[in-house]
A and B are shown apart, each in its own frame.
Chain A
């Protein structure tokens, strides 16, 4: 009796070991805002993540060597990639709870997420504690890769890279056009994203000799931005530099028009100002708005990989590939490539493979030099560009050698429009 029990017990205990040796499935937790104010980012990204999984599973074809090598996950003998999507609603506490659930109950191999810097911060803490790889494709708060984490990897540039590009642009633009930009007005929202962006902008402004004449941290998702715009109007900076998510970006533009605030140059930190909703909602009134970005839709035509992916993506999502899904895709493919090379779903094998990542730039849809992580988990081969909203579309205007349009400066005053 006790012998039978021992045999049964032994075989039961051995089962997970066998399963781990030959995984038939790679389960990844993907956590994004699927409801709430930033739901659009999550919903648009979901389509591109599903495409990434299909490419890995061999169901969809992207005819470029890097993606062909991943086809059917040969490193894991054809294990199928399965994604579990979860919604964090833009809330750090919900994100952390979802991360815990995915790790402990769904037993995911790795986590991917999660757009908002503040949510990425709490989710990756859970992943770090459990020793599960966390790939972050887009959160731009610089501090995320400075926490000494061992399981956190970020493929995207962060706000220091991005903001540096803005100041490089100011320098080159002043030289090219013979103008002098002296004063900056900063407005940034009050979550981690805005707070970090504001800090970086202030540091770089000081370093490059610009005067910050207005420095406002405002309450995100405000019902009114009248007082903020009144103060901007009073300070009248040469360049207005806002950091906002969608809701506030739309409201800022509408309020500016109502209150007749006429900045000559608007340099934004991506996010709200670059989302298709912002363009659809107030694009006409936002003519001339500039943004840093890691990707631009007008580059699709110039990059064969991006063009091929956009054909697949636009069919599924009903819109062209843009910054959010482009970065999401790049992050997910980086993780899938690492898992494939690891040939296992064991966390440390994947971690080792991620550290050894080396993806050449021409295989990416981004204009980066490639993907290669430093010891903090930050991709070192990133590059930012500057875009400007012209005629309802964002066009690349800097660096000048890849620009598709000339910079519109100054932005016409409200009274001179149409």
Chain B
């Protein structure tokens, strides 16, 4: 869609708050709150497109960057204003503890989160590759004008793209809330890694992002375990830089 959402981290933060408040006020486990978070965030993505992105889409690149960046600052400050600066944690979610996979211990919430992420990925992939709407969406992303000429309602596709993207963040946020703390600034921690992952795989290529995500995760853990924990992110970013120098479009990117 050729627009980067710099408020992606803040969307994640909002999804985590949805899961947290569903637990704190409605006694809903984050697993049950997941559909709620997906719907709420999809609605937010849709509204963001219609309220903001549509108006800057034709504008210069800088206007687009500032619009989503401004949205990020607004959401972060708004969250601090409404819910304060305290760190909040969902206590005793259904999934807790760990499972032994051979000699390795894996946290159960993390395992569930990765399984759910895989399911979401397969769903998204099938939708994009197989369904007519998915193909129309891809066409819009590749060339808006050509897609419009073929009779695709690109405005709707953009809105759908935003709703889908935000909905996925909604799922991620609800899963993450099972084991990570929530506070207004939490998005920034993940957003940078997310951009690096997407850029590493290649913008617009969903399976490549999955592969890149696994690479980033492995590099992070092994750099921390075998080298020094202080430089684990340095290794991740170094790898990213090396790959981007070699292939500016990312590992599997087409353009």
Contact = CB atoms under 8 A, between A and B. Distances in A.
A218 B234 CA distance: 12
B221 A226 contact: yes
Interface string A7-22: 0000000000000000
B107 A258 contact: yes
Nearest to A34: B85
Closest 4 CB pairs of A and B: A227-B224, A258-B107, A39-B85, A281-B89
Interface of B: 76-77, 80, 84-89, 91, 96-98, 105, 107-110, 179-181, 183-185, 189-190, 193, 220-222, 224-225, 228-233
A260 interface: yes
A396 B97 CA distance: 31
Contacts of A219: 229-233
A55 to B, nearest CB: 25
A227 B227 CA distance: 10
Contacts of B84: 43
Contacts of A259: 98, 105, 107
B181 A281 contact: yes
Nearest to A195: B230
Contact of B221 (A227, A251, A284): A227
9 contacts: A39-B85, A217-B228, A222-B189, A226-B221, A226-B224, A227-B222, A251-B180, A281-B89, A284-B91
Contacts of A40: 85-87
Nearest to B230: A217
B98 A258 contact: yes
Contacts of A278: 87
A222 B221 CA distance: 11
B54 to A, nearest CB: 30
B189 A36 contact: no
A376 interface: no
Given A35-B76, A224-B221, A284-B91, 5 more contacts: A43-B84, A219-B229, A230-B225, A247-B183, A250-B89
Given A217-B230, A219-B233, A247-B87, A35 B179 contact: no
B86 A277 contact: yes
Nearest to B97: A258
A37 interface: yes
Main secondary structure of the interface of A (DSSP, over half): helix
A213 interface: no
B100 to A, nearest CB: 10
Contacts of A250: 87, 89, 181
A35 B233 contact: no
A223 B188 CA distance: 10
Given A219-B233, A260-B105, A36 B87 contact: no
Contacts of B224: 218, 226-228
B225 A280 contact: no
Interface in A204-224: 216-219, 221-224
Contacts of B180: 223, 251, 254
Contact of B185 (A36, A251, A282): A36
A227 B229 contact: yes
Contact of B230 (A35, A39, A218, A258): A218
B88 A281 contact: yes
A296 B233 CA distance: 36
Interface in A56-89: none
Given A216-B229, A219-B232, A35 B80 contact: yes
A216 B225 contact: no
A182 interface: no
A100 interface: no
A287 B97 CA distance: 17
Contacts of A39: 80, 85, 184-185
A190 interface: yes
Nearest to A278: B87
With a 10 A CB-CB cut-off, give which of B190, B193, B229 has the most chain A CB atoms: B229
Contacts of B228: 216-217
Nearest to A276: B86
Nearest to B88: A281
B98 A190 contact: no
A120 to B, nearest CB: 20
Contacts of A217: 228-230
Contacts of B222: 227
B220 to A, nearest CB: 7
Interface string A247-282: 100110011011110000000000000000110111
A300 B144 CA distance: 66
Given A223-B189, A258-B110, A35 B85 contact: yes
A393 to B, nearest CB: 17
B189 A281 contact: no
A94 B183 CA distance: 21
Contact of A223 (B88, B105, B184, B190): B190
Q: Which of B89, B96, B189, B221 has the most CB of A within 10 A?
A: B89
A221 B230 contact: no
A39 B76 CA distance: 12
A231 interface: yes
B97 to A, nearest CB: 7
A156 interface: no
A43 B85 contact: yes
A37 B222 CA distance: 26
A103 B199 CA distance: 43
A417 to B, nearest CB: 12
Nearest to B227: A227
A367 interface: no
A345 B180 CA distance: 48
Given A35-B185, A36-B185, A251-B180, A227 B85 contact: no
